[in-house]
Amino acid sequence: MIELGTIGAALEMAVFGLLAFITLFFAIFVVIAKDIVRAGLALIMCMFGVAALYILLNAQFLGIIQVLVYIGAIGVLILFAVMLTKHEIRGEPR
């Protein structure tokens, strides 16, 4: 890893903490969300956070694969599956 010095190391640690907090926030939101579409979008944001953490930890290949496979394929697949299934809006039966 590149030698950053004390200020750079502190900044890197702060960015890591912020990314970890954002990732955990969206992961918890996926579990507690009532609306499946919002849960799917939160899952995509959680995966972006994981990819950013990989890149911050000098695992750029894993970060790119995370974006391509999990966000690009799995996230979009989940959202399309939710959008294309029959569902009722609360209070308005079809």
Give average pLDDT by consecutive 10-residue segment, the chain, 94 residues: 74 94 96 89 93 94 92 84 74 57
In this prediction, residue 6 carries a pLDDT of: 84
Q: Is the pTM of this model over 0.85?
A: no
- Tell me the domain boundaries of the chain: 26-84
The b/e string for 31-68 (b: 16+ C-beta within 10 A; e otherwise) is eebeeeeebbbbbbbbbbbbbbbbbeeeeeeebeebbe
Pick from 45, 46, 65: nearest CA to 55 = 65
Q: What is the pLDDT of residue 85?
A: 82
User: Phi, psi at residue 74, to the nearest 5°?
Assistant: -70, -45
